[in-house]
Chain A
Amino acid sequence: MEFTYYHPKNIQSLVTTLSGLQNYALLAGGTDLLVKMKEKLLQPMPQAVVDINEIGKLQEITESEGYLWIGPAVSHTALTKSVLVNEKAVVLAEAAGQIGSPQIRNKGTVGGNICNASPAADTVPALLALDAMVEISDQSGRRHVALSEVFKGPGRTCLLPGQFISQIRLRTIQHNEGAAFLKFGKRKALAIAMINAAVWLKIANGIIDDVRIAFGSVAPTPIRLYELETWLIGKSANHGVFAQAGVKASQMIKPIDDIRCTADYRKRLAQIIIFRSLVTALGRAQGRCGCE
C-alpha cells in the first residue's frame, strides 16, 4: 500500500483537498477501507487517503423540529451512547449496537457504513425506516438525496469523485410511533447479517396510519419494501395482519444464495423478521416495551 495521507481539519479544507485529487479514498473508521486496501479489492488502489476524523462538524449529533442530524463520522459506539439517538431514534442505536464487535463499533462510522454500501450494512435499514436523507457536499455546494436513492449496487453509491456525505438527517420517532430493528447472524458477535430489517409504524386508533419497511441482505442494495408498506397502510395493527405481512415480505424479496446461507432461508427469515419487528414496533408505539 502506498499513498499520501491528508487530514483536513474542517469541511472547507476537505472540499479543497478532494477537488485536487484524482484517485482517493475517504477514511472514516477504516474498518472496511483498510480491509479492502489490504486485500487489494479496490481497483485502482487509491493514491491518497483523506482522513475525516479531525473534522469536528462531521461528528455532531443535533436535533431540529422532528429530525435528528447525524454527522457521517459519528462512530457506532457514539450512536449507541447518544442520549439524543436513544431518546428519539432508538432503533438506530440498536442497529449500530449489533455491528461487528466493540472494537469495530468504536471506530466504524455511520457514514462509512453507508458509503461502503454493503447490502448487509446494519445501520442502513434503520436509517431507511426513519426516512433518512443524506446531504451530499462537494465543491459546488450541497444537495439532498433520499438515502434510498444513494445505493447503486453492492459496494457502489451515487457519490461522485469530490463528493462526500456531510450530514445524515432522519425523522425522529414521535408519539404513537414505534420502530424496531432485527438482525439474524450466524453467531452473536462479529457476524455479518444473513438478513436484517427495520420497520417503523405510526398508529392511529389501532390502525396502521403509516409504515416504512427496510431490508438488508436481500437485494444488491438495502431496500425499502414499498409494496408491502402500501398493503399495510389502513390495516389493523394486530398480529394477524403482521403475520400476513411476513408472508408477503418473503414473497416479495428476491435474495440470492451466498456463503452465509441460501436465498430460500433468507425468505423464511424474512417472514419472521417482519412479524417480530412489527410486533415490537407496535408495542413501542403503544408505549409499552417491545415484547416478542
Chain B
Amino acid sequence: MSKEVICFILNGQKMEIEVEPSLLLIDMLRNRLGLTGTKMGCGEGECGACTVLLDGKTVNSCLILARQVEGHEVLTVEGLGTYDKLHPLQDAFIAEGAVQCGFCTPGMLLSAKSLLDENPQPTRNQIAKHISGNLCRCTGYVKIINAIEKVAKSD
C-alpha cells in the first residue's frame, strides 16, 4: 500500500501528514495525531461517538478514510475550546448537568455546534433530530437538549 501526504485544515491549523489508503479518519486522529477526544463506540456509524465536523457538517469519522479529508476542513472536540476558554456549548453542558460518563460528549458537542452554526434558534425537536445520530446511554438526552437550547437562547 502506498502512502501519500495529505494536506488539510485541522482545528483551524494547516496539517500535513503521510497516510496509507486504508487508514480511517478516526484512527488518524486518535493514533497518529494523539487527538483522543474523538471516541470509538461501535465502528459502524451507529452510535455517533466518533462524530467530527467535516467542512462544518457532522460525519462519523469511523466510516471515512483519512485520505478523503485532503483539501477539506476537520474540526474535532479539541478545536472547540480550551481550559482557559471553554466554548459556550462546553460551558452549558457542564452547567446544565449534561455530562455523565462523558463518552458521547465530544460527538454531542460537535453535533450541537454544527446545528447552531446552521440554525441559531432551533426548536427542541430540531435539536433532538440533529443529535439523533449521537447515542447516549447515561443522560436520557434531556439535559443535553437543555444545554443546547440554553446556548441558542443566549445568542
Contact = CB atoms under 8 A, between A and B. Distances in A.
B29 interface: no
A49 B64 contact: no
Contacts of B48: 101, 103
B148 to A, nearest CB: 14
A51 B68 CA distance: 8
Given A3-B22, A34-B63, 14 more contacts: A5-B67, A27-B65, A30-B65, A31-B60, A34-B65, A35-B44, A49-B21, A77-B57, A103-B45, A103-B59, A104-B60, A106-B59, A107-B64, A189-B132
Contacts, number: 81
Interface string A179-194: 0000000001110000
9 closest A-B pairs by CB: A101-B133, A189-B132, A5-B21, A1-B22, A34-B63, A103-B133, A106-B57, A103-B60, A103-B58
B37 interface: no
Greatest chain B CB density within 10 A among A5, A34, A49, A103 is at: A103
A241 to B, nearest CB: 34
Contacts of B117: none
A1 B24 CA distance: 10
B65 A101 contact: no
B21 A30 contact: no
A30 B48 CA distance: 15
Given A104-B60, A190-B46, A49 B132 contact: no
Given A101-B133, A104-B60, A104-B133, A38 B51 contact: no
Contacts of B129: 102, 189
Contacts of A3: 1, 21-22
A31 B46 CA distance: 10
B143 interface: no
Given A2-B1, A103-B58, A103-B60, A31 B21 contact: no
B63 A102 contact: no
Given A38-B44, A103-B51, A49 B60 contact: no
Contacts of A2: 1, 22
Contacts of B135: 190
A104 to B, nearest CB: 6
B133 A189 contact: yes
Query: What's the interface size class on A, roughly?
Result: 20 to 34
Interface of B: 1-2, 4, 21-22, 24, 43-46, 48, 51, 54, 57-60, 62-65, 67-68, 111, 129-130, 132-135
Interface in A212-270: none
A178 B18 CA distance: 52
A100 interface: yes
Interface string A150-193: 00000000000000000000000000000000000000111000
B49 to A, nearest CB: 11
Contact of A104 (B4, B24, B45): B45
Given A2-B1, A30-B64, A35-B45, A107 B59 contact: yes
Nearest to A35: B44
Interface in A1-15: 1-5, 7
27 contacts: A4-B1, A4-B2, A5-B21, A27-B68, A30-B63, A30-B64, A31-B63, A34-B62, A35-B45, A49-B65, A51-B65, A51-B68, A53-B68, A100-B45, A101-B134, A102-B58, A102-B129, A103-B58, A103-B133, A104-B45, A104-B60, A106-B57, A106-B58, A107-B63, A107-B64, A188-B132, A190-B135
